[in-house]
Chain A
């Protein structure tokens, strides 16, 4: 059935979404985290009345403003791209997916944009307390906007709280709270925002380290490091915790993705964790997505323990998911070939149901509906021919996951060392540490982007797990249009990114004693 779809349109649509989403995500985590760091700094200013803290707050606020603007610019396209490039998706799940986007606008964006004006222009117009509240509301607003879009993303990974309506040919929401409080959504939100806070903390420490290396603004830099390191230590610990929870969710709801993250082809009891690995040759299956390890360093039983808190538990690999298996709770997961069969039945039954309605054939409508409901769970599988087409690109997922985790551990160490050296008053002389802190800034961005690559590449070929493959979600437009807009986005966003980086670097060079412009 795949041959019925224009794969170049699917690939270009995916490329465009990936490009715009990844650009957007360069700016968002810094906004999310810096907003809180600024709010904490301003709170210290209001509490102590020390003008030095006001200066510190205003400096980071300037960088926040520059970053925020480009985050807004790259963000607007994402909301509308669901419609422009994924219109079949927009209808199939719009009844559920649209709501979080609307709530995001009403609840979060207005809060953010209203109070940001007070935050920047209200220093001499409103009281100190009101200004502080506005700064906190900007932080809350920006994080609330993250909540709603991540709830929407979480729902795509684990669709809950809905029912398929054959009359409208779409999924309809039956429980808002199930969607909002789905464990996948909650874990995704907490893990994503805490990782964003970590990135912002690394950014503040890195910039401050540069000042210390240059022996500029020493007091300012040290104070900034203290706030950022405490903030970063707490948030990075939280990131590890929520990441761990996320993994345990994924192993249950998206076992194929979990197998890809770990590069696990054949599952076993007491599965080991590949701490380090290199993938090179293609596997015997002939599937381009499946690469074999040419080298790996494995820690016995750890994967089973992480997935199920039991070192001897069974963890399914790619081949187990393809061929079917019984999980640790005794739930039988049928082979993908069976799911394909059921999916085809569901698609066929929907067509029959529609035709029967046209022909006013009630008996056929009823039997078709019954068949549809029985098989709907695997509706999306019906679009595939070969079970191995449901395997995501393993090497990209595996590497991204391990890069993310490895860097996360390094940041934990970075914050700990920063606090230790500040406490010992030796941070200025630790040149190696200051240089590492500066280099950690780009690494934080690598880790953050890797996280999204794991989330989005690892769930392929699904746009909605088990229900809608990515290839059926695209708009019915010609590939050329998407190619043109892809390159337009590439040019415009790259142009804006270059300007943003240059402006940021200039502001950092000018330092906190310069005005905002």
Chain B
């Protein structure tokens, strides 16, 4: 089946799969957003434990999606993997440290004799939520604004400055995406709490966050999106593969791919609908599904915007012709074919995740259940 597809079709298929994984990852970052709200929403130890336990039953999905996203990028676009990870060393190391400390925080926090104290592990969760989201968003910003690397004729890469990717924070547009992801994660975290915890005070405090985080979210998101439409982009000549700057490139991409534009706009509407309805309605708990679904659509559309329609998805500011495209950075036809068969398992994986999610969330978490729970975070 897949072996009959052209190399380009397989490259596009894998860019779609990676984009989907990336967009699901951003949705699942409600865990990270929620982690930054523990002290804001939980006013007692018991309430904070309730919040942490609600997140603790989901953190591994986010973590696993991040790891799978990394693995899938390695398998499908190894030149991106080697260039970005090996060059933007400090950005990726910072992100990884944020996730290393998260992985133990839930399990160790409430265990006796945990040496460093519950507070330390709560700080770990906060750092993961704050820096993890901002750094990942900022790193993805370089898909549109470019990064400082060169690739030689043997495809060996080198970063063009000694800052190891940290220079990305000097670009306001990158940072705007980082902050967008951060505030969005907090909004999704609030909606998740409203959906999965039975506790009136927490519900009302979460609702207030929809306004407090919603306004800065809109400001940074609009800045990012409007600037994106008007900025120059990295165009690839279909014949020669030469990369050049094109005015209004991403606006052109939207117009050339109306389906992507529809996905983007539909996503924005869903995000806003989920937020507004949850804020205005008395006791509406399903906002997470609208805002979460919308998040997936918006991020998915942004990834397609970066990689499709003859665009360099990982452009180089140091040497334009070193820029990575889905064609020059990908795996061979054979490997993409083999991996495509593996990707057929994805719907099956999603099905059992949905089943497990429903089995565990069939009843909202409350203090009563927590008191009887013998595996407590």
Q: Does A481 contact B (CB under 8 A)?
A: yes
Contacts of A86 in B (CB 8 A): 86
Name the contact of A503 in the complex, choosing from B79, B87, B113, B360 (C-beta under 8 A).
B113
Query: Assuming the A-B contacts A106-B343, A113-B63, are A90 and B359 also in contact, with contact meaning beta carbons closer than 8 angstroms in the complex?
Result: no
Q: Does B313 contact A (CB under 8 A)?
A: no
* Stretch of A3-11, A115-123, A279-287, A411-419 lying at the B interface: A115-123
Q: Does A516 contact B (CB under 8 A)?
A: yes
A69 B107 Cβ-Cβ under 8 A: yes
Name the contact of B111 in the complex, choosing from A104, A115, A507 (C-beta under 8 A).
A507
Contacts of B101 in A (CB 8 A): 73, 492
Return B312 CB to nearest CB of chain A, in Å: 18
Q: How many A-B residue pairs have CB under 8 A?
A: 270
Return A46 CB to nearest CB of chain B, in Å: 18
B57 A121 Cβ-Cβ under 8 A: yes
A95 B111 Cβ-Cβ under 8 A: no
A-B contact pairs, 23 of them (CB 8 A): A68-B107, A69-B108, A70-B104, A79-B71, A87-B157, A90-B74, A91-B78, A94-B78, A97-B74, A101-B75, A102-B74, A103-B339, A106-B71, A114-B61, A117-B356, A118-B356, A121-B57, A485-B93, A502-B113, A503-B115, A516-B376, A517-B111, A517-B374
Q: Does A172 contact B (CB under 8 A)?
A: yes
Chain B: which residue is nearest A66 at the CB level? Answer: B107
Report B150-166 CB contacts with A as 1/0, cut-off 8 Å.
00011111110010100
Q: Does B89 contact A (CB under 8 A)?
A: yes
B residues 51-110 near A (Cβ < 8 Å) are 57-58, 60-61, 63-64, 66-72, 74-76, 78-79, 81-87, 89-90, 92-93, 96-97, 99-104, 106-108, 110
Chain B: which residue is nearest A506 at the CB level? Answer: B113
Contacts of A168 in B (CB 8 A): 155, 332
Known: A87-B87, A106-B346. 17 other contacts (CB 8 A): A65-B375, A70-B107, A73-B102, A74-B100, A76-B66, A95-B332, A97-B74, A102-B339, A106-B349, A114-B356, A120-B375, A170-B78, A172-B334, A173-B334, A477-B159, A481-B89, A499-B104
Query: Assuming the A-B contacts A84-B85, A105-B67, A125-B359, are A476 and B376 also in contact, with contact meaning beta carbons closer than 8 angstroms in the complex?
Result: no
B76 A102 Cβ-Cβ under 8 A: yes
CA distance A105 to B61 in the complex (A): 11
B residues 226-277 near A (Cβ < 8 Å) are none
Name the contact of B68 in the complex, choosing from A82, A83, A110 (C-beta under 8 A).
A110
Interface centre among B68, B110, B346, B353 (most CB of A within 10 A): B68
A173 B335 Cβ-Cβ under 8 A: yes
Q: Does A88 contact B (CB under 8 A)?
A: yes
Q: Does A352 contact B (CB under 8 A)?
A: no
B112 A90 Cβ-Cβ under 8 A: no
B64 A65 Cβ-Cβ under 8 A: no
Name the contact of B86 in the complex, choosing from A87, A105, A517 (C-beta under 8 A).
A87
Q: Does A299 contact B (CB under 8 A)?
A: no
Interface centre among B58, B61, B72, B104 (most CB of A within 10 A): B104
Q: Does B280 contact A (CB under 8 A)?
A: no
A109 B64 Cβ-Cβ under 8 A: yes
Contacts of A375 in B (CB 8 A): none
Interface centre among B61, B106, B112 (most CB of A within 10 A): B112
Q: Does B342 contact A (CB under 8 A)?
A: yes
CA distance A120 to B60 in the complex (A): 13
CA distance A77 to B99 in the complex (A): 9
CA distance A134 to B353 in the complex (A): 12
CA distance A481 to B115 in the complex (A): 29
CA distance A502 to B100 in the complex (A): 19
A residues 320-343 near B (Cβ < 8 Å) are none
CA distance A158 to B100 in the complex (A): 32
CA distance A116 to B103 in the complex (A): 14
Query: Assuming the A-B contacts A94-B78, A476-B86, A503-B111, are A117 and B60 also in contact, with contact meaning beta carbons closer than 8 angstroms in the complex?
Result: yes
Query: Assuming the A-B contacts A70-B103, A73-B104, are A515 and B68 also in contact, with contact meaning beta carbons closer than 8 angstroms in the complex?
Result: no
B81 A117 Cβ-Cβ under 8 A: no
